[in-house]
Amino acid sequence: MWMVRAGEGGVRVDEFRAGSVVAIGWEELGDMSSLHTREQFTKAVERAYPGTRRMQVAMSAGQAYRFAREIKKHDRVVTYDPSRREYLLGTVTGDYNYKPATDGSYPQLRSVQWDATVSRDVLSVATRNSLGAIATLFLLPTEAADEIEQIAAGTVAASTAPAAPVEEQTQVDLIFKDIQNKAFEFIKDKISRLDWDEMQELVAGLLRAMGYKTRISPSGPDRGKDIVASPDGFGFESPRIVVEVKHRTASAMGSPEVRSFLGGRHKDDKGLYVSTGGFSREARYEAERASIPLTLMDLDDLVRAVLEHYERMDTDSQRLLALRKIYWPG
């Protein structure tokens, strides 16, 4: 059983229903009848969409290949109607067909006989989750396909009754935690790819979002730039925070580096040492017994701080690390 989405937000679901078809876009590919192998589809996508990233090329070519070559007559297919919160269920009745149109309709077609609808609300949480993939086209897990067929036939087993709210929220929370963890790692990846100067600016932007004014000292012989943060921006008013930023993702800072940083500090200074490569155990011990308050911030700490203060960061700082907010059921 295949899922073929009816455009973003299901905007073409009425076309699918009325025309007894499923369809995909990729108009620039033209007629795909002469394409047979994945390699041929990949090359066609590269020609049609020059400059597209390699991963996107692979995804587009893979989905176009599956639509034209892997879906077979008599396969089952579903598509989602979000306005009615129901899935259309049908059977593929024809081979791949190319039918260009001037009204913006999707030209890559497969004919379908629609024979049932299934409400999303009666599906188990596991099946709903499996139907939530963002891909335009994908093969459903066997268990999900079986459940949809059983509900459509009116033979649904008691075990597939709608989940209790507590069970559903547990599943939602687990998915959210997984997405949250992945997002955290993706943000770390983006920060790691910043160059040296951009990392200085990001940390300075974070401090400004926390209410400080910042000054980045001119580049020295070792390209070291200390940031000074204070209420007045000059370091005259307390607290005066002196910041060292080391952007070496594969190299942890040790106790000698921490001692060197502490050696140039005044007794009333506060210290912040940022290292994207982390710190050794000895470095952390050195910081604990420092003569001035000193905070060590590794990459994980930096991401957490940025996420906490991101909405108050200025536009230039946000541009260094573009993030999007999503809302999730609580």
Per-residue pLDDT tens listing for the chain (330 residues): 999 999 888 889 999 999 999 999 888 999 999 999 999 999 999 999 998 888 899 999 999 999 999 999 999 999 999 888 999 999 999 999 999 876 667 899 999 999 999 998 899 888 888 887 778 899 999 999 999 999 999 876 544 455 556 666 777 788 888 888 899 999 999 999 999 889 999 999 999 999 999 998 776 654 445 899 999 988 888 899 999 999 887 788 999 999 999 987 888 899 999 999 999 999 999 999 999 999 999 999 999 999 999 999 999 999 999 999 888 887
Note whether 233 and 283 are within 8 A (CB). no
Q: In CATH, what is the architecture of 2-162?
A: Roll (3.10)
Helix axes 54-65, 38-48, angle to 10 degrees: 120
Report the length, in residues, of the chain: 330
Q: What is the value of pTM for the model shown?
A: 0.65
Looking at residue 323, its amino acid is L
> Going by DSSP bridges, is the β-strand pair 97-98/21-24 parallel, antiparallel, or unpaired?
unpaired
Note whether 106 and 24 are within 8 A (CB). yes
- Name every residue whose Cβ is closer than 8 Å to that of residue 124 and which is 6 or more positions away in sequence: 147, 160, 161, 162, 163
What's residue 166's pLDDT? Answer: 65
Boundaries of every domain in the chain? 2-162, 192-320
- Residue 71: helix, strand or coil by DSSP? coil
- Residue 270: helix, strand or coil by DSSP? strand
Can you spell out the DSSP letters for 132-172? T---SEEEPPHHHHHHHHHHHHT---GGGSPPPHHHHHHHH
Alpha helices in 66-213 (DSSP H): 125-130, 142-153, 165-192, 196-209
Q: In the numeric block, which tokens belong to residue 256?
A: 């000698």
- Name every residue whose Cβ is closer than 8 Å to that of residue 241 and which is 6 or more positions away in sequence: 207, 212, 228, 229, 230, 269, 270, 271, 272
Alpha helices in 193-298 (DSSP H): 196-209, 255-263, 281-288
Looking at residue 57, its amino acid is V
- Name every residue whose Cβ is closer than 8 Å to that of residue 62 and which is 6 or more positions away in sequence: 38, 41
Instruction: State the Cα–Cα distance between residues 79 and 4, nearest whole angstrom.
Output: 5
b/e code 56-82 from CB counts within 10 Å (16+ = b): ebeebbbbbbbbbbebeeebbbbbbbe
- Residue 281: helix, strand or coil by DSSP? helix
Q: Is the link from the previous residue into 107 a cis peptide, with omega within 30 of 0?
A: no
CATH 3.40.1350.10 fits 192-320, yes or no: yes
Note whether 292 and 183 are within 8 A (CB). no
Phi, psi of 199, deg, nearest 5: -65, -40
